[in-house]
């Protein structure tokens, strides 16, 4: 799946002040990313506040992004949950003709053990669809250990990649070092993007990347090209803003930046709220530094 290489971005869902989906801003966001070097788009991930969208709104967002994208870059669709049978059903019933893969987060809240996580992805793999495993223990409450990921990667060829967001970067390196050739790893942590890519990763599925697509995609391409010093110049310039956008949770920080850039309105759906005034001031100040 070499077409899922470089910078993928987990798109936010823009809202109007009345909390309806802002499709005009969504068009601007997609075009802004494609025009500035983003390699592929992730639709309805966690960053999209997908948990707050109705089934009908999800269909509308999917169809709108497909239309605006117009086959310019590959698309990935987020379908995950903590009810394995329901996740399998959703994947089997989804029209994936415009998508290269499904990004499926590991079960949250249930906190299954490693065998349970293995069986969950084994069931999803049985759909025959291209699946990206998503490990984000800070949100799910349970880590997919490297041995479990490698076991899955070796047994199921349609589990094509992992979006790894474990807090321990050594786990990324263990997977990269031991994985089969047909299985890839992308960083799920923006700040780890450069070292993980240099170690043999396939890039990132990013949050900050949608706000700074030109800088982030250039940084990752420099890493692929072995131009380490130039890549780290960009990395170091973006570290502070990257940390700031996650200071009060995601996606309130990146929505602050995108609103300041005039791409979307700074609106979120409960239970999420926009960044505090203090954090917004810090983000805007750092934007000026950049």
Catalytically annotated residues:
134, 163
Contact between residue 102 and residue 121 where contact means Cβ atoms under 8 Å apart: no
Between the alpha carbon of residue 179 and those of residues 9, 201, 270, 281, the distances in Å are: 24, 11, 40, 43
Find the largest Cα–Cα distance for the chain.
Answer: 49
CA distance 289 to 128: 47
State how far Cα 278 lies from the chain centre. 26
Token readout for 206 is 């990013």
Phi (first) and psi of residue 238, to 5 degrees: -105, -5
Rg from Cα positions in the chain: 18
Cβ atoms within 10 Å, residue 36? 17
What 3-state DSSP class applies to 75? strand
40: DSSP letter: E
Between the alpha carbon of residue 262 and those of residues 38, 68, 211, 257, the distances in Å are: 19, 19, 11, 9
Q: Which single residue is written with the structure tokens 């009345």?
A: 18
């Amino acid at each position: 799946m070499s077409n899922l290489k470089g910078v993928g971005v987990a798109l936010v869902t823009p809202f109007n002040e009345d909390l309806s989906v802002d499709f005009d801003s969504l068009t601007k966001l997609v075009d802004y990313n494609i025009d500035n070097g983003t390699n592929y788009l992730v639709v309805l991930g966690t960053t999209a506040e997908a948990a707050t969208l109705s089934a009908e709104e999800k269909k509308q967002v999917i169809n709108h992004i497909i239309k605006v994208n117009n086959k310019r870059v590959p698309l990935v669709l987020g379908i995950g949950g903590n009810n394995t049978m329901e996740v399998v059903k959703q994947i089997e019933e989804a029209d994936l003709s415009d998508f290269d893969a499904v990004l499926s987060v590991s079960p949250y809240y249930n906190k299954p053990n490693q065998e349970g996580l293995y069986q969950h992805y084994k069931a999803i793999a049985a759909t025959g669809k291209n699946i990206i495993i998503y490990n984000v223990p800070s949100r799910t409450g349970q880590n997919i250990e490297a041995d479990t990921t490698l076991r899955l990667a070796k047994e199921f060829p349609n589990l094509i990649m992992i979006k790894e967001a474990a807090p321990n970067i050594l786990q990324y390196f263990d997977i990269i070092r031991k994985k089969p050739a047909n299985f890839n790893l992308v960083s799920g942590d923006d700040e780890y993007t450069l070292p993980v890519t240099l170690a043999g990763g396939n890039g990132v599925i990013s949050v900050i990347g949608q706000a700074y697509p030109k800088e982030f995609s250039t940084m990752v391409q420099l890493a692929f090209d072995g131009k380490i010093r130039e890549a780290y110049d960009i990395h170091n310039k973006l570290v502070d803003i990257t940390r700031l956008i996650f200071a009060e949770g995601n996606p309130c920080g990146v929505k602050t930046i995108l609103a300041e850039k005039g791409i979307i309105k700074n609106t979120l759906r409960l239970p999420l709220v926009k960044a505090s005034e203090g954090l917004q001031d810090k983000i805007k100040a750092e934007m000026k530094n950049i």
